[in-house]
Structures are given as structure tokens and as C-alpha cells.
Amino acid sequence: MILTITLNPALDVTYRVDEIVLHGSHRVRSVHERAGGKGVNVSRVLHQLGHATTATGLLGGVIGEQVRADLDAAGLDSAFVSIAGTTRRTVAVADPDDVTIFNEPGPTVTAAERDGLADRLGQLGRRATCVVMSGSLPVGLGPETYAELCAMLKTLPRALPQTQPPSPAGPSPDLTDQSVRSHPALLVDTSGPALIAAAEAGADLLTPNAAELADATGIHDPYAAARHLRELGAGAVVVTRGPDGMLAVTPDGVWSARLDERLVGNPTGAGDAATAALALGQASASRGVDWHQSLREAVAWSAAAVPVAHAGELDLATLDRLRPLVTVTKET
């Protein structure tokens, strides 16, 4: 089971209007609401492709109940911890040309609620093959949060070996040898000081985009910046570069992956789709990650998210068509 952690989930609300006028009064033509947040989107994609996943994190108030109900309606397994504050909404006002977005600040999380989350992760983490920590942190949780969760998850006693999810394509690696990694693979998708702290805590995989990587490390060259995160303690770093594909600095060398076709659509969920594929690559790896395959899947899943209007869903025909077109190169 792949466990995703979303500490600051949202109810994503989309308003369609005929035209947007600054300081005007608008008749909203349609209202669409959907549970959102980066970890939630990762779980949605994994669930769509038939992989076992559980979404956890923090939810509160009437909006939290709406998020929970939407996840239930989607058939997604979730185990969120309840908090006193109210989960945030994002409101995207879509006119025929573009989108104007309003992000609510979200709840303030207390120390007791944070401890409740750690307890929940202590239970769920033992059954997970990979734990994905994704997205921004709510008020009350500092940039050390993901690092501390990584440290905690590394010390968990493992549950009995389980049937692992199948590799996304091709034969599964040998699953009988659990000796290489004694804890669930820890994947952290974040930015800023939280990214540095996660590297120092020894996260197995970090997945910043190129701008986040440069911003957090102060190093402009993505290869050098990724190597720096590995020196700090990270197992591997995959840098997503939008339509320019990905590069990976790993214990098995440096890789790049790309797709020469440009897709038109909504790139919002592409990063989360890539994270989902990379999490699956980590979860399937008992004696090291098959980077060639993992990066191929990550680029294909990412591209297959673009034709779909909402984050957290892939266009399966696009996925099948693009998978063989991805070029993966081992650079060093």
C-alpha cells in the first residue's frame, strides 16, 4: 500500500463565469467541487490505475467533511486525522480565457493535533511500502515537519512482508528479499526549507521542480543542486522540468527522461502524476529502484495528466500511446 500524506488538503471549487470584470458582480454559471491537495491527487492517480493506496493527513470542520465525502464517493481509501480548524477551499474562477484563483489560508494546526497525526502514521506506516509527503504545510507546522515524520517512519517496526503492488509494466522484481530497506520508501515532494530538512533527514526520494530546487539550494545548475541534496542525505532526487522532462540523480547514476511530443491541456496535475509513478517505482523496489522503468512511467503519467481537466486523473489512451515514446538516457 502506498500511503500519501496531505497536511493542508483543500476543497477545490471551480466557478465558471461568462466574463470576469474587476470589481463587478458575477453570476456563476456552474459550481464544481472536488477534494484536492497534492497527496490526494497522488492517491487518486494510483487508485485510478488499480494500485493500493491510502490517503491521510489533516481535515477539519464542514469543509473537511466535504473533502471526506468526496474521497468516499470516489472510492478512495482515506484515514485523515480530525482537527478543530476548518480545512481550506481554493476557488478558481474560470472565464473563457483563463483562471483567477483565490486560496484560503486554511486552519492553524495545534501541537496536540500534530502528535495525533504522528500516532496515526505510526499505525499506517507499518503497512506501507512507500510513504509520499506532498505539498504545503498548514500554519502551526514548521518546515521541519516532513523531516521529523521521515525520522519517525525510519524507526518503525515493519509489519510482516506483504504482497506488494505490481510494477506498472513488465515483470516485478524479486519481492522476497526485504533486506535492503528496513522502512517504507520515503518520498517527499515539497519546497523551500522543508525540502532541505527532508534531504538532511535521509528521505529516499525528493521530487522538486527545477525552480523549487534552485530556490531551496541556491544552486542554479539542476545536476549540481540535486547532487547537493544527495550529499545532505537524500537517497535520490528527481527534478521535474515540465515539458523538458526529468532528470534523476540516484545511487545508480544520473538519468534523464523526456518526451518529444507537446501536449495541450491543463498541466496542474502533471507533477502529482509523476510523483505517483515514482512512488510506485519506489514501492516496487526491494533491491534498488529500476530507474529506467520508473522514469519512463513518470514522464508518461505526467503527460497523460495534461489532457484531463482536473488534477488527479490520467487519460489512459494517452498513457498507452505515449509510454513507448518516452526516451530514458543513462548519462553517467
> Which positions touch its own copies (CB under 8 A)?
15, 17, 20-31, 62, 65-66, 91, 93, 97-105
How far apart are CB 281 and its own copies at their closest, in Å? 31
Asked if 289 contacts 252 with a C-beta cutoff of 8 angstroms, the reply is yes
CA distance from start to end of the chain: 32
Give the nearest distance from C-beta 86 to its own copies in angstroms.
9
Q: For residue 293, what is its C-alpha cell?
A: 522503468
> How far is it, in rounded angstroms, from Cα 296 to Cα 239?
14
Q: Output the smallest distance, CB 312 to its own copies, in A.
A: 19
Taking the least distance from each CB to its own copies, the nearer of 102 and 193 is 102
Which residue, 82 or 327, has its beta carbon nearer to its own copies? 82
Residue closer to its own copies (CB basis): 101 or 317: 101
Nearer to its own copies, 66 or 286 (CB): 66
Distance CA 137, CA 218 (A): 21
In this structure, the number of other CB atoms found within 10 A of the CB of residue 197 comes to 23
Residue 304 grid cell = 497523460
* CB of residue 296 to its own copies, shortest distance in Å: 32
Sign of CA dihedral 256, 262, 263, 266: positive
CB of 299 to its own copies, least distance (A): 26
Backbone dihedral angles phi then psi of residue 274, each to the nearest 5 degrees: -60, -45
Alpha-carbon distances of 173 from 40, 53, 72, rounded to whole Å: 27, 20, 33
User: Strands 53-60, 77-78: parallel, antiparallel or unpaired by DSSP?
Assistant: parallel
Q: Which amino acid is at 67?
A: V
In the complex, minimum distance from the CB of residue 88 to its own copies, in angstroms, rounded to a whole number = 8
- Residues facing residue 54 across a β-bridge: 3, 77
Nearest CB to its own copies, comparing residues 96 and 324: 96
CB of 66 to its own copies, least distance (A): 6
For its own copies, give the closer residue by CB, 125 or 135.
Answer: 135
Of the pair 31, 79, the CB lying nearest its own copies is at 31
Cα angle, residue 42 at apex, residues 79 and 180 outer, rounded to 5°: 85
Distance CA 7, CA 138 (A): 7
